[in-house]
Amino acid sequence: MNIAKDSFISSHKKKQISVSFFILLLTTPFCDVNILQSEVKMQGLKFVYDLNDVRSIDCGNGKILKFYRIVANRDINNPHGLIKKGEKGGYIVEGALSQEDESWVDSKSIVGPDCYIGGNGYVEDSMLFHSVRVGNSGAIISSKVMPKTITTVFGGSMIYDCQINGDVVLSGEARLDSCSVEGHLSMTHNTSLQNCAIKGVKDGISVVNDLRMVEKKIEGRGLLNCSNEIKISDRYAFDETILNKKK
């Protein structure tokens, strides 16, 4: 049941994994749990795959991408809550969730190819299309993440209620809340961006120390609040040109 890394779909094929398909996965009636692994193989495993609840995508050229429903095989003490043995998790490609530690992917989530959730990482109500790493006590909640290259969430950092169409690197206690992101963004320490629209060009935007911003439109490259190549404006600033056009 191994899915080799060289079978992962190419970048232009990744875009064919549409949001509508993932929504279909979440709305399709599920089969009854019928774990087909033997009792011997199940011993010591944190979770098992429900082989009766599998979804597939035809990627063309004879490549089939399979998503397996996971089921907790022991109690999992994740920092975001206790997962009881027998509880259903989300759909993942094989190998996307570590069998070690207390990481988990909840039942409303889908985790695609070249992703890895380890440590005490947590994914809830989210779609990780490809190339996302979550570790330590990092979390992605209520978000859609589609990197251009790779997105990583480590330390105690969190992506919450965001739309990511680029590469985000979070560490420390960084928090990205109710934001949209294009291009590259890196955040560390106790930084926080809330309800912002971010577009990092070229090598992207870096946010460090305890910097916090709310309801800003941020575009450019360099160190936020230091670089003269970054434009910052109010995200919801009133546009008088719209009013003038109506007169």
pTM here is 0.82
Amino acid in the structure at residue 67: F
Question: What pLDDT sits at residue 31?
Answer: 43
Q: What pLDDT band is residue 239 in, cutting at 50, 70 and 90? A: low
**107-116, 206-215, 237-246, range with the lowest pLDDT:** 237-246
> In this predicted model, what pLDDT tens digit does every residue of 90-106 receive, in sequence order?
999 999 999 999 999 99
- With a cut of 50, say whether residue 8 has pLDDT above it: no
Residue 195: pLDDT band (50, 70, 90) is very high
The pLDDT > 90 percentage for the chain reads 74
Of how many residues is the chain composed? 247
R_g over Cα of the chain: 20
How high is the mean pLDDT of the chain? 86
Which amino acid appears at position 95 of this protein? Answer: G
Q: How far is CA 236 from the centre of its chain?
A: 26
Do residues 55 and 91 touch, judged by C-beta distance below 8 A? yes
What is the tens place of the pLDDT at every residue in 123-139? 999 999 999 999 999 99
Mean pLDDT of 46-54: 96
pLDDT for res 238? 61
Q: Which of 32-36, 110-114, 221-225 has the lowest mean pLDDT?
A: 32-36
pLDDT number for residue 65:
93
